[in-house]
Structure 1
Amino acid sequence: MAFLKIRSSHFSLALALLLAALLAIWLLSGSVYTLATDAPEFTPASQEAERPVVEIQILQASTYHPRLQVQGQLVPYRQSTLTSRINSQVEAWHVRQGQAVKAGELIISLDQEDRQAQLQRAEADLRLAEANLQATERLKSQNLSSETALLNQQALVASTRAERDRVSMELQHTQILAPFDGFIESLPIEVGNSIQPGDALVSLADTRTLKLTADIPQQKASQLSEGLTTEAQLLDGGQLTGKISFIAHVADSATRSYRIEAQIDNPELRRVAGASATISILLPDLSAHRFSPALLALDSTGQTGVRIINDEQIMQFMPVQILSLDTGGVWVSGLPAEIKLVTQGAGFVSEGEQVTAVQVESD
């Protein structure tokens, strides 16, 4: 009997424990159900964890010095071939080929022949005609001469004066003077040669200053203005600088390009006149960004641009204009002064999508 009582007591305790466990499970089941059906309260950190992650660099705009590079030619700033204006003979050279001369310096003397005597005679004829004119005017004032006689004397004075001036001019043309500072490039005649009007006597060039000429494509011409600095890269590696002095207002009908000229100083008297050169024109400075060309992208229309992150952490595509491209990087314009440039992860994010941006240091 005692044994049966002990077993009954143990059974009652086990049953009580089982019921208590079932009750606890039932009470907890309500909380679990509530947790399973209510919307979770995500913290901002958990929301950011759900966004795509991209790497960015914060870039500041810097000054870009654009250049327009074309091929051109260097020519003397001034060049002239002096020709004879009279019939004569070469009497003497006063210079040699290659010599430097000053403006007004005597280069060649031509034979004056009898022009000095012709001038004296013409001057005498002019003095006589002027005296006769004065006498005729006095007679006309006294009504002792006709109007026709007065007109004839006036015509004779004009004719003799013109003859005097012609002979005097021919005498001046026997002395060939340098019209400007320069160098004697050629003397194609010999002393004693007979010459006629139009025959070449001497070629003179001023190479202390050079004139640089080039043709600019029509789409680039609007960027130019007089006074811009130009640099001429010579074939021997040297460099000459100057400024644009002329820009054509009308394009060439065949090439649709605009001719420009630049005045270039040549203080060392380099023998480069007539040679070709690579011309760099320094355009006005621009605000631009420089980065790896690998970060350039195309939108759906094929426009070139970059992907950036705005202040709301939303990815945007911004078109750019490429200014220059080399192995070291690309210069672009069209962006704000400061940008958050996406450098990695853009391929997994769509434009307009919010992201989590992780900044990396720029190189």
Structure 2
Amino acid sequence: MKFSSLLTLKRLLPLLIIAGGLVVFAMLTATAPGSPAVPVQERSWLVDAIKVRPQQLAPTLTLYGQIETPALVKPAAPSKSRVTTISVREGDAISTGQLLLALDERDFKPRLVQAEAKAEELRALIDSERLRFRNDQIAIKHEQSILQLQQSSVERAKKLKRQKLGSTAALEEAQEALKRQQLAYRSRKLAVDDHGARLQQLKAKLAHAEADVELAALNLERSWVIAPFDGFVEKLSVASGDQVNEGQVLLTLYPSDQLELRAKIPAAFQHEIQHALVAGSPLMAVAEYAGARLQLQMDRLSGKADSRGIDALFRIQDGQQWLRLGATVSLTLQRPAQDDVIPLPYPAIYDNNRVFRIIDRRLQAIDVQILGEYQRDNQSWLLVQSEDLQAGDEIITTQLPGAVSGLKVDVK
């Protein structure tokens, strides 16, 4: 029995020791001295800032446009023929007077020869008519004299018959001769009177023939496509040896000095741009293309607008030698200058229409109106306006996550 009690005590001893240790730890913890409370300090954010300086500046507007031309030329075949010569390829630069394409001359020269021959024939007929008119003028005087003699002969035959010295047959013969002469005289007089109408008819036919000559000569000339300006070949529509029909386009070309850039002006800026053009203010723009700097000036606005805005057409003043028809160009338009605007870097703008002013090391939100971009030190800034901003105010230029009014900041 004693042995069993001793065994139970040995088993409980470790548990008693652990329990005693826990009691001692609890007493020590409860009687330990308390640590002093650490005061909570408000965090201050380190930011960059810029002072407000209102001034007169011209905002810019980034546009995207395409190169086009109002002088696109499309030479066509003057009549049915065959292509014999093509001396250029698509994209080639051309110079004034250069032969670009030729059609078969044998389709045009015979028509010119025929038209010239017809005109020459009519000129000869006009000369013949004038000669005949002069002859008729002389002949009608003789016809009139003969008519008078025939009338006298009839009068004598009547007188002799009344005196019973002449026969009835002689009188009838004289009267018949008189009628024949009267008919001959009238025919000659009609020829003289009709001269003007016949001559006018021949002249009209000659004018028609001469017009055919000019048309045939023009078609022969147009069978050679000669470059009318310095420019580029935009497209070839035929190949050497092709059979072409009248009016078929042979190639397309355009002058290098009549390129324009068409870009869409957003509706929000449409009225501003229209007023500037009416006032005669030059609206300049610059663009970068193919590593070259382009100088442009707005020439006019399109005659049609839509809900998105209106197309503007820019005249290219410098750098057009680098451009090709259809090229897409990004340009920066210099808008009319405005007063009391404030240039700010992009990080100063929050939620597209808000900035934060620093007052006594704390932020204050200010709503602003974005007027557009502004190029400064080869960087894009934004121009803003607000009646709540005054000269000398400090605006933070650091993007703070969760920035709100009242946030404490320190300027670097």
Q: State TM-score, norm by structure 1.
A: 0.60
Map 1:34-73; keep pairs closer than 5 Å: 59-73=52-66
Q: Is the CA contact 1:231–1:239 (under 8 Å) kept in the aligned structure 2?
A: yes
Q: Is the CA contact 1:229–1:281 (under 8 Å) kept in the aligned structure 2?
A: yes
Gaps of 5+ in 2: 1-49, 139-188, 358-365, 397-404
Q: Is the CA contact 1:115–1:171 (under 8 Å) kept in the aligned structure 2?
A: no
Q: What is the alpha-carbon distance in structure 1 between the residues aligned to residue 310 and residue 134 of structure 2?
A: 66
Map 1:1-363; keep pairs closer than 5 Å: 59-75=52-68, 78-113=71-106, 114-128=110-124, 130-131=126-127, 144-146=192-194, 148-207=197-256, 210-224=259-273, 225=277, 227-234=282-289, 239-252=293-306, 255-265=307-317, 267=319, 269-270=321-322, 272-287=324-339, 288-290=341-343, 321-324=369-372, 331-333=383-385, 339=391, 341=393
Q: What is the alpha-carbon distance in structure 1 between the residues aligned to residue 367 and residue 224 of structure 2?
A: 69
Q: Is the CA contact 1:104–1:177 (under 8 Å) kept in the aligned structure 2?
A: yes
Compute the displacement of 1:319 (Å). Answer: 8.2
Q: What is the alpha-carbon distance in structure 2 between the residues aligned to residue 325 and residue 185 of structure 1?
A: 36
Q: What is the alpha-carbon distance in structure 2 between the residues aligned to residue 259 and residue 243 of structure 1?
A: 14
Q: What is the alpha-carbon distance in structure 1 between the residues aligned to residue 232 and residue 395 of structure 2?
A: 61
Q: Mark the CA change 1:211 to 1:126 in structure 2 (over 3 Å): closer, same or farther.
A: farther
Compute the displacement of 1:271 (Å). Answer: 5.6
One-letter amino acid of the counterpart of residue 258, structure 1? I
Q: Mark the CA change 1:119 to 1:153 in structure 2 (over 3 Å): closer, same or farther.
A: closer
* Structure richer in helix, relative to its length: 2
Q: Mark the CA change 1:58 to 1:260 in structure 2 (over 3 Å): closer, same or farther.
A: closer
* SS of equivalent to 1:215: strand
Aligned to 1:21: none
Compute the displacement of 1:265 (Å). Answer: 4.9
Compute the displacement of 1:334 (Å). Answer: 6.2
Q: Mark the CA change 1:258 to 1:97 in structure 2 (over 3 Å): closer, same or farther.
A: closer
Compute the displacement of 1:182 (Å). Answer: 1.3
Q: Mark the CA change 1:206 to 1:69 in structure 2 (over 3 Å): closer, same or farther.
A: same
Q: What is the alpha-carbon distance in structure 1 between the residues aligned to residue 127 and residue 96 of structure 2?
A: 40
Q: What is the alpha-carbon distance in structure 2 between the residues aligned to residue 228 and residue 137 of structure 1?
A: 74
State which drifts further: 124-133 or 99-108: 124-133
Q: What is the alpha-carbon distance in structure 2 between the residues aligned to residue 199 and residue 156 of structure 1?
A: 31
Compute the displacement of 1:263 (Å). Answer: 2.1
One-letter amino acid of the counterpart of residue 193, structure 2? S
Compute the displacement of 1:68 (Å). Answer: 1.6
Q: Mark the CA change 1:162 to 1:291 in structure 2 (over 3 Å): closer, same or farther.
A: closer
Q: What is the alpha-carbon distance in structure 2 between the residues aligned to residue 219 and residue 240 of structure 1?
A: 26
Q: What is the alpha-carbon distance in structure 2 between the residues aligned to residue 268 and residue 249 of structure 1?
A: 25
Q: Is the CA contact 1:207–1:273 (under 8 Å) kept in the aligned structure 2?
A: no
One-letter amino acid of the counterpart of residue 231, structure 1? V
Gaps of 5+ in 1: 1-56, 298-302, 308-317, 349-361
One-letter amino acid of the counterpart of residue 302, structure 2? A
Compute the displacement of 1:282 (Å). Answer: 0.7
Q: Deviations over 1:45-68 (max 9, x none)?
A: xxxxxxxxxxxx985422323112
Matched residue count: 280
Q: Mark the CA change 1:103 to 1:228 in structure 2 (over 3 Å): closer, same or farther.
A: same
Q: Is the CA contact 1:209–1:266 (under 8 Å) kept in the aligned structure 2?
A: no
Compute the displacement of 1:111 (Å). Answer: 1.7
One-letter amino acid of the counterpart of residue 246, structure 1? R
* SS of equivalent to 2:193: coil
Q: Is the CA contact 2:62–2:333 (under 8 Å) kept in the aligned structure 1?
A: yes
Q: Mark the CA change 1:216 to 1:80 in structure 2 (over 3 Å): closer, same or farther.
A: same
One-letter amino acid of the counterpart of residue 81, structure 2? S
Identity of aligned residues (%): 21
One-letter amino acid of the counterpart of residue 71, structure 1? Y
Q: State TM-score, norm by structure 2.
A: 0.54
Compute the displacement of 1:228 (Å). Answer: 1.5
Q: What is the alpha-carbon distance in structure 2 between the residues aligned to residue 198 and residue 332 of structure 1?
A: 58
Aligned to 1:24: none
* SS of equivalent to 2:205: helix
One-letter amino acid of the counterpart of residue 331, structure 2? I
The structure having more radius of gyration, on CA atoms, is 2
Q: What is the alpha-carbon distance in structure 2 between the residues aligned to residue 86 and residue 328 of structure 1?
A: 58
Superposed CA RMSD? 4.6
Q: What is the alpha-carbon distance in structure 1 between the residues aligned to residue 225 and residue 291 of structure 2?
A: 39
Compute the displacement of 1:175 (Å). Answer: 1.7
Aligned to 1:20: none
One-letter amino acid of the counterpart of residue 154, structure 1? K
State which drifts further: 59-68 or 91-100: 91-100
Q: Deviations over 1:153-208 (max 9, x none)?
A: 33223322222222222222222111321123443323332211122222223346
Q: What is the alpha-carbon distance in structure 2 between the residues aligned to residue 262 and residue 181 of structure 1?
A: 21
Q: Mark the CA change 1:140 to 1:232 in structure 2 (over 3 Å): closer, same or farther.
A: farther
Q: Is the CA contact 1:208–1:267 (under 8 Å) kept in the aligned structure 2?
A: no
Q: What is the alpha-carbon distance in structure 2 between the residues aligned to residue 98 and residue 295 of structure 1?
A: 48
Q: What is the alpha-carbon distance in structure 1 between the residues aligned to residue 130 and residue 389 of structure 2?
A: 87
